[in-house]
């Protein structure tokens, strides 16, 4: 049996289903840079094999070895995934999710 790649690069543009922004993908784009929402389309990064297709809410911002990750939680199935924050992400939104009360 052939082992699937853990990451598959897909260059895709999309319209954010949360805020409506037209997003130009670069093959690594996995969330809207404006509102930081994502979509549950992958089982493994880039495979586009998830049947869920739910919106993924940005719920937290974590720092791992000086790299920031947006924690996304699927509003449909509850799946949690960390995605790297990237230059061009809405800085105010990053600060906002880092300050959310999780209690």
In this prediction, residue 90 carries a pLDDT of 97
pLDDT at 45: 84
Residue-level pLDDT at 41: 92
Estimate the share of the chain in helix, then strand, then coil, as percent rounded to the nearest 5.
10, 30, 65
Give the per-residue pLDDT at 95. 94
Q: For residue 51, which of 42, 64, 59 has the smallest C-alpha distance?
A: 42
Those residues of the chain that have pLDDT short of 70 are 1-5, 102-103
pLDDT of residue 6: 73
Predicted confidence at residue 4, as pLDDT, reads 57
């Amino acid at each position: 049996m052939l082992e699937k790649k853990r990451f598959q690069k897909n260059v895709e543009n999309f319209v954010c289903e949360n805020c409506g922004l037209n997003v130009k993908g670069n093959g690594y784009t996995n969330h809207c840079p404006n509102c930081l929402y994502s979509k549950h389309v992958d089982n493994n990064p880039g495979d586009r094999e998830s049947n869920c297709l739910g919106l993924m809410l940005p719920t937290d911002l974590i720092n791992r070895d000086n790299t920031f990750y947006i924690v996304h939680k699927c509003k449909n199935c509850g799946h949690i995934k960390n995605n790297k924050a990237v230059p061009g992400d809405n800085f105010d939104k990053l600060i906002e999710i880092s300050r959310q009360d999780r209690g």
